[in-house]
Structure formats: C-alpha cells, structure tokens
Structure 1
Amino acid sequence: MDLLKVKAELVDELGPLLSAEAAAEAPAAGVDPADLEQAVWVRLLERDPREADPTGRARWIRRAVRAEARLARRRARREIPYGATPGDAADAPEGRPEGALLHGEDNRALRSAVARLPGRCPELIGALLSPRDLTYREIAGELGISQGSLGPVRSRCLGCLRRMLAAEVAAPGLRGRER
C-alpha cells in the first residue's frame, strides 16, 4: 500500500478523534485547539504509519494530545513577552549603571552559550549576532555555505541553543491556573 494513501486514510480515520481530544485539552493548556491539533498531526505524520498498531492508534492520539498540551503549558510558563527581560525593571533602565550591568551580563551569558554550541553553530550564530547586521547572502559568503541552507542550519543551531539555555536557567514559578 502506498505511504501517501496510508497517511490519507489516517487523516480520515483519526481526524474526528483528534479534533475532539484537542478541543477538550486546549482550554486547560491555554492554547488554541487548532494549534494543538496541528502539533499532534505533525507528530503522527513524522512516524511511519505502517509500523503503528491499528488498534493502538486512538490511545496514541490521546497520549500525544496530552503530551503536547503539557508542552504548551511548560512553554507558557517559560515564555517572556517580547521586549521584557527579567532584569529590565523601572528602577534599572538601560541608561543607568544597573541596567548596563544587567545587559552586559546577559550578553556574556549568551556569548558563552553560543561558544559551547557544536559544529558550525558558533560561527553562524556569531555572524547573526554581529553588530555589522549582515544579510543572509553576506553570512553565507563569509561561512562558505549556500544561502539556502542558512535557514535550516540556523533553526537547528537556535534549537540547540534554546535547549542548552533552558537546562541552565531555572523556570519561573507557576502562574494562573497551574497553581
């Protein structure tokens, strides 16, 4: 049986169950049901559906939805709104010495983490963080890689950096419904 046909049958078979499970779990996770559903579809379609036990698919869907909901809750606890950093308080604006010190510490921590990344990641992230504000074409020329591969490599490097920093930084306390 063709893999594409198997995946199409999975969508028809499991679509209603996935929609119902996502709609049930999304409010508690604080996410849109469609986002939760999409994350589970990606998870499901990355697997080889021919290896999956047909009788265990519904159980797998339920578990995957709950796992994605837990991930969404954890992500919401760790996320900081764009433009706000823990050290940027009204009593320590950038123009004051305290703000400059905190900003310098953040930069040193970031540069230190970037230096510990594997492979070509330190060079690439360093070029992206460069004050020269290089274009993708200039970065590709500087690093000797194709411009088309910069996006995927950057994504992998940022994912690695994110995991590295998440392991080093303590997650903030629970907020809202999670208490």
Structure 2
Amino acid sequence: MTHDLVAALGPLLTAEASAEAQAAGSEPADLEQAVWLRLLERLAAGGPPADPQGWLRGAVRAEARRGRRATRRERPYGAEPADDARPGPEQLALTAARHRALREAVSGLPGRCPRLLAALLSPEDPTYREIAGELGISQGSLGPERSRCLGCLRRVLAPEVAARGARG
C-alpha cells in the first residue's frame, strides 16, 4: 500500500514542489524530500491521509512557508568560519606554549645571552647601538656574541624539537 501511495503521489509532488520551490527560495528536490519525510512520519503515526492529493498539496505549501520563514530569519556569514584567517583557540594555545618554551630556554642560557637575546627579541626593535649601550659592550662584538648565544639556544632546544618530531 505504501509503495502504491508513493508511486501515485510522485508525479504530483514533483509538479507541486517545482511550482513552489522558487518562491520558497529552495530547490525543488529539497522540498520534495521534506514532504516525503512528513508523509513517512504521518504513515508511522496514524496511517495514510484520507485525501492523499489534498494532504500532499497542503504539505508542499507548509514546507514552502517554513522555507520562506527560515530564509527571512537566517543571515549569511560574511565569510565562512573555516575561511577566517584569525587563529583559533587551539592555534593561540600552541603559539603561547612555544613562546613560553622559548622564554624558558633563553632564561636558562649562560652569561649575557639571556639579556642579549631578550634585547634582540624585544618588541621595541632596538638598534645594535642601543643594545650595545644597554649591555655595556661594543657594537662590533654584538654579532659574534649573538652567534654564540643562538648556538647555545639551538643546543638547548634541539632535544625538545627532536622529541616533538618523533611523536608526530
């Protein structure tokens, strides 16, 4: 019986959905699918409708109204959330953890290295002359000193970087 009902209502549903879909702002196939679902719910709840064609026309119009209401209420995103270039919470947490690990590694370096690297990484972006004055060393020795400090930092961070790569 259900198969006969579906076969009998199929062409009428296709025609009704095609007529109502554009005004509803939806695709005819989406409207058809919603009405078929309502029919299945109706059949499960209490059997077939007394006037299947009349019920089908009413169901198509009700789904079309529901679609128009949803279209009026919904506002599209300016951009897809996945396309948002801003980093998400996970990325912010990972970046903060990397910065924390770098600060800890720099603070554990010997001699003037922590102060020199902190000055080089400063957001104020001081010149070599300013850094040399702050540290009390000649401007010409900043390059070699920086190279030694970065070598030390590389050795300190190497086990951590190698351990991260091995897990991945």
Give the structure-1-normalised TM-score. 0.43
Which protein has the larger Cα radius of gyration, Structure 1 or Structure 2?
A: 2
Q: Whose relative contact order is higher, 1 or 2, with alpha carbons under 8 Å and at least 6 apart?
A: 1
Give the structure-2-normalised TM-score. 0.46
Which of the two has greater helix per residue?
2
